[in-house]
Chain A
Amino acid sequence: MAESQGAIAVDIDNVSKLYGNFTALSAVKLAIQDNEFFTLLGPSGCGKTTLLRCIAGFEDISQGAIRLYGDNIADLPPNHRPVNTVFQQYALFPHMDVTRNVMFGLLRLGRSEAEARARAGEVLELVRLSQFADRMPAQLSGGQQQRVALARALAPGPKLLLLDEPLSALDLKLRQAVRLELQQIQHETGITFIFVTHDQEEALTMSDRIAVISDGEVQQVGSARDIYEEPDNKFVADFIGETNLIDVSVAEVAGDKALCTLPGGAQFTCPAARGAHSGQGHLSVRPERVSLADPAGALLTGTVTRMIYLGTDMNVDVRLSDDEIVTARLQNSSRTRIPAMGATVGLEFEEGAARLLVD
């Protein structure tokens, strides 16, 4: 929740990270708000983990500043940053039991043994692990280890919690359960979370805001709805969910509207992303917003080339006259008309469902 608008927890100001000639991060600017569940989303190798490691202090930045509630922490070693991390493979201390693992940070901060033990008990209760307090990490399941890692990072009460793909080692069912738990814990503790993932579903379901990252650059920042419904560019549209990218010629762009010519010749007015211009462009339409229609007078026409049964839905691939494939996702209900393979069909979508994108 971005309730406390205005208070910036983390200000990532023009941060670049170079490894020799390779640019891992290129002038990244992000303002993460207090008490926000903020996700860095991108394919592997996009720089999201590098950015997280720069915030934690495991990597030096080549340029820029990282401010935590106004203080530049970019030059501090990791043990002087009031930031804790949940590691991808948990990195629990194998020679310490669960309680000792959770107490570790508290003892380093100078808390007394008794105080640290009491706090560890509280945090273990929060993650529902109290009955495993005396176990060694090796005696726990993956999900339990993940919760210990979370408890250990929460125990010192950091201003900022970093989570590096913490769910990637869990199986699907558990992952879905832990998602809700994480969100709930974030609400209860009020700590700002920065969560790294390559899983768009994870990002969409958990985050207040998402930064989509590719090739070391921030592509778009926004709520789940923003980036799904109004992607800024082709990469974001393609990476978040599935989309059809239809080649169109753009007659003119006026404000945030564009007039396009679809393959087959139909004229179509639709919203345009920032930077769209006349000439060639891509129209992004989500498969679930495409519907089948009578070929006469439809926006697009083509032949059905493939049908994929998905359980709740069915994907119908339609080949257009220019050989482009457009996918329509039909709900699997008794009322849905299922076309025959090879049939000529028309495709329709609403003006607001499509969006003209720049590359």
Chain B
Amino acid sequence: MAGGIGSGPGKSARTYAGFGVPLILPAWLVIGIFLVVPIGIMLVYSFLTKEFRGGVVWEFSLAAYDQFFFDRGLFGDDPPQIEWTYILIFWRSIWQAGLATLLSLLIGFPTAWFIATRPASTRTIWLFLITVPYWVNLLIRTISMKFLIRDNGPLNTWLLEAGLISEPIHLINTWVAVQLGLFYSYLPFMVLPIYAAVERYNFALSEAAADLYASRFVTLTQIILPVVKPGIIAGCILVFVPSLGSFLAPDLLGGAKNFMIGSLIDEQFKGAAGNWPFGAAAAMILLSMVMLVLIFYARSQSRREET
């Protein structure tokens, strides 16, 4: 019996470690088949030649990337100039997603803090309430927002009647409308990880800071924010990444002038006017952007652990 107990931990450790591969295998298969393979296809397609009715011709070409970055004139034989159209769309996507992330953080952090500091019994109710609007499909919600903010929609009507404005605010088909759509769509993704971090926060740390002569501001910036930072970063990534590739909000709320990279890609795969290699190339460029953000995050995390 004593021998059995003595050899127990080693044996059981081996046994459970042995489960590792079968446990992760289903996830690997799903990721492999539905993520790695499609990205591989996309990568290949981005280097093919376009077929005029959609689809591709199996012939290697850099035309898609060339079209994204350079302007070679109508017949393709002028000296190459930087093509700003797509770069500007890209730039717009980045700042719109960045702004949406910032706004979500400004609204999400206090909300998460509020919920995490409620008595344990009511926290679940608050979290539940956060998720309620998301029972409705994103498309429906975005279209509803379009109706709400129309020139003669409820928002303007109400503001006019309240005497706060004298003529309707023109929101629809502006970058502001896109911004509203983006940040509203992804707000919960900011609230939930911050909530999780704040809930684990030990409030004795704030007391210790106050005891050591820290003002409320210093306590917030030097103690609370650094300690809950992992939650904030997770929230920012969860809002920034999908915002960057979003196409519903810019399509439905922004109109033609507020194109974002998601809409651009979306369009390349619709009907005969599309250009599959160009869409695939734009998608690859977007993917590299996202990878850059994640690498930045991973590096800041490992620095955190080193110190």
Closest to B306 in A: A136
Residues of A within 8 A of B125 (CB): none
- Tell whether B208 is near chain A: CB-to-CB under 8 Å: yes
Closest to B229 in A: A95
Selected A-B contacts with CB under 8 Å, 17 pairs: A57-B210, A57-B211, A58-B211, A77-B210, A87-B204, A87-B208, A91-B205, A91-B208, A93-B205, A93-B209, A93-B223, A95-B304, A105-B212, A105-B213, A108-B214, A108-B218, A109-B213
Give the number of A-B contacts (CB < 8 Å).
65
| Residues of chain A in range 66-117 having any CB-CB distance to chain B below 8 Å | 77-80, 83-85, 87, 89, 91-95, 97, 104-105, 108-109
List chain B positions with a Cβ less than 8 A from chain A.
202, 204-205, 207-215, 218, 223, 226-227, 304, 307
Q: List 15 additional A-B contacts (Cβ < 8 Å) besides A91-B205, A153-B212.
A: A56-B207, A78-B210, A79-B210, A79-B212, A84-B212, A85-B211, A87-B204, A89-B204, A91-B202, A91-B204, A93-B205, A93-B208, A105-B212, A105-B213, A108-B214
Residues of A within 8 A of B208 (CB): 85, 87, 91-93, 152
Residues of B within 8 A of A83 (CB): 211
Residues of A within 8 A of B205 (CB): 91, 93-94
- Tell whether A156 is near chain B: CB-to-CB under 8 Å: yes
The 8 A-B residue pairs with the shortest CB-CB distance in the complex, in nearest-first order: A105-B212, A108-B213, A91-B204, A91-B208, A78-B210, A95-B226, A85-B211, A79-B210
Residues of A within 8 A of B304 (CB): 95
In the bound complex, CA of A109 to CA of B205 (Å): 18
B307's partner among A78, A79, A136 (CB-CB below 8 A) is A136
Do the beta carbons of A56 and B211 come within 8 Å of each other?
A: yes
Most buried by A among B211, B226, B227, B307: B211
Residues of B within 8 A of A92 (CB): 208
Residues of A within 8 A of B218 (CB): 108
Residues of B within 8 A of A136 (CB): 307
Do the beta carbons of A79 and B211 come within 8 Å of each other?
A: yes
Closest to A149 in B: B208
Do the beta carbons of B210 and A152 come within 8 Å of each other?
A: no
Chain A 128-166 per-residue mask, 1 if CB under 8 angstroms from chain B, else 0: 000000001000000000000000110010000000000
Do the beta carbons of A152 and B212 come within 8 Å of each other?
A: yes
